[in-house]
Amino acid sequence: MKLSPNQIQRELREIAEAHLQINSFTWGDLSIALGQKVIHYPLMHCYLQSGGNFNNNTTDTSIVIEMYDITYKDSDNMDDVLSDTKQILRDVYQVINKSTRWKRFGSVISASNQKYKWEAHDDIAGYSQNIMFKLRDFSGVCDLPMQDYDFGGDSPSASCPDV
């Protein structure tokens, strides 16, 4: 894979840090993240869905990006929160879908959005986006961290260039 799960996390964190409207970034379980650190909203929260397919030269990966902002108890600012978080999420999608940097990693297959309101740790609302991303994978047996394994037939050491 050209882009490992840890690298995806770092790339998304860089996007969040560069975007002028995003004030916090978290990764993994949202309830744990909210309980462990001080959040300055708007928040970009991300994680990878389980599953995905290995194909010949690609790996399908589901990236979930959630954009949240704080809502007033009376929800008086709900329209503004939903409008702003959807636009910020669109900005992030544009980077992933159209930037040269992300095109080197792979391509977007599809993206779907869902509106959320969460009343637990903080009253927050916003959008969640599930991006199906096809990661490029140019590795072969020559790139595997293996030594002295008989692949049967042609040995990769015979066809792999010396390091």
pLDDT score, position 30? 83
Burial of 67 by CB count in 10 Å (0-12 exposed, 13-18 middle, 19+ buried)?
buried
pLDDT-based confidence at residue 137 (cuts at 50, 70, 90): confident
* Top mean-pLDDT range of 1-5, 57-61, 97-101: 97-101
Measured between alpha carbons, how far is 55 from 145 in angstroms, rounded to an integer? 20
CA pair distance 46, 29, nearest whole angstrom? 9
Q: What pTM did the predictor assign?
A: 0.85
pLDDT tens sequence across 65-76: 999 999 988 888
C-alpha 84/C-alpha 59 separation (Å) is 32
Predicted confidence (pLDDT) per residue in 5-40, tens digit: 889 999 999 999 999 999 999 999 888 887 877 889
Rounded-to-integer distance, Cα 57 and Cα 49, Å: 20
